Amino acid sequence: MDANDNATAGILDDITVVDLTTFVTGGFATLMLANQGAEVIKVERPHAGDDNRHSGPPFVEPDPDYDGPGKTADENGESPYFWTINYDKLSVELNLKTESGLEALYDLVAEADVVVENFRPGTAERLGVGYDDLREENEDLVYCAISAFGETGPWSSRPGYDLLVQGTSGIMSVTGPEDGDPVKVGLPQTDLITGMWAAFGIVGALFRRERTGEGDRLELGMHDSALPWLTKQAGKAFVGEETERMGTKDPVLAPYQTYPTADGYLNVGCANQKLWNELCEAIGRPELAADDRFATNPDRVEHMDELEAELSTVFRDRPTEEWVDLLAEEHGLPVSPVYDVKTALNNEQTEARGVIREIDHPALGTVPVIEHPINYENATAGFDGAPPLLGENTEAILRELDYDEADIDRLRDEGAIPDRE
């Protein structure tokens, strides 16, 4: 590879990742690595595959005439949720409860750089795929273990999903209407947070390996991963103040919330005094800036309900887009509309950034892909391949590991991989 090739290569182009995870936490971590050029090989249970393949509805039925490698795991079709976590990965079906299936995994790990798993603590070791087991095959391995509550502490053996951790992390306690019940964030937030921490740690361990020649084992829990994101809410708790649900209001800034308009909603974020003064002028209410209740940010936070009443009266007078044109476009103030998901994915800004595009899929024609946001000057990033069908790459990868047809037939006979369908 010459210097020009290096300038346009993916940062993780030469890295191979073996993904033993299911659902979102590990899947999103390896998705981020795939976006940066890593080859990610999903090792899945024969016939069933990743649990996320069964998340739905909705499902999309594959082409009934497709007769290539791989299959649809769920009788209802392919899960669009699964797509969003598994672009540009390869899928291998291996029964790790068979001796030959485990041996095939060891052969795969021997050629890999990273292994990621999200079993409950102790399960990987019982299956023979713990760090010590796999390090016997590859002493330079970077091994990442993800669990709900980490490997130590009184909750370490508990199972956990995003909903549970949104509860234990305090996130739900500060989310929702002021006088209402705790509310789960409408996305699998703690799954995604944990996946991002895991990807960050894996890249850090790979960087260290470049410097020292040593692999490493890292472990993290979803509960631990969510706590640093509490930021301003944690700051209040640290000094003895109560945290609370505030709807769209902010505990330390005002105005910093959502206001109803004549036809929808407008987000207004005045994070400093200059912006507040300019907002008052732009909406034709300069007297608000001189009002003692609203003179400084601490004043506005103290009198937040009164401020909300004043501004709500103003913003209800016009449609959202008129406010955006006046305040954002003409005055350069931080306001924006509140979009639904379809509009968020299909608007002029999203289109201009090239975030959504189509990727060819062998059994579905094309599928939409959400690109990740990092754009390099001297490297490439992005997804090149569709989310895989279950077992789509099993035989091809075994052949890359020097398994011949007789070896592959033996794996079938021993129940390590499924029969051809």
Tokens in use for 79? Answer: 């899960």
For the stretch 119-144, pLDDT in tens is 999 999 999 999 999 999 999 999 99
- pLDDT attached to residue 420: 78
CA distances from 185 to 154, 171, 229, 242 (A): 26, 8, 13, 21
- Considering the candidates 50, 113, 191, 216, report the single residue annotated as catalytic: 191
Catalytic annotation present for 13 = no
In whole angstroms, give the CA distance from residue 203 to residue 38.
11
- Cβ–Cβ under 8 Å, residues 174 and 233: yes
CA distances from 234 to 97, 208, 220, 222 (A): 44, 31, 20, 17
For the stretch 204-225, pLDDT in tens is 999 999 999 999 999 999 999 9
- pLDDT attached to residue 2: 40
CA distances from 299 to 172, 273, 292, 304 (A): 27, 11, 8, 8
In whole angstroms, give the CA distance from residue 245 to residue 4.
53
- pLDDT attached to residue 38: 98
For the stretch 32-62, pLDDT in tens is 999 999 999 999 999 999 999 999 999 999 9
Strand ranges inside 283-400, DSSP E: 335-337, 356-361, 365-370
Q: What's the fold here for domain 265-337?
A: formyl-coa transferase, domain 3 (3.30.1540)
Mean pLDDT to the nearest integer, 80-90 = 97
- pLDDT attached to residue 366: 95
Q: Which long-range contacts (CB under 8 A, 24 or more apart) does 324-328 make?
A: 324/266, 326/282, 327/279, 327/282, 327/283
Q: Could you tell me which residues come within 8 angstroms of residue 314 by beta carbon, excluding any fewer than 6 positions away?
A: 283, 284, 285
- pLDDT attached to residue 1: 34
- What ranges do the domains of the chain cover? 3-228+354-413, 265-337
CATH number of 3-228+354-413: 3.40.50.10540
Query: HSE-up of 346 (CA within 13 Å, CB side)?
Result: 5
* Residue 271: closest CA among 289, 287, 250: 250
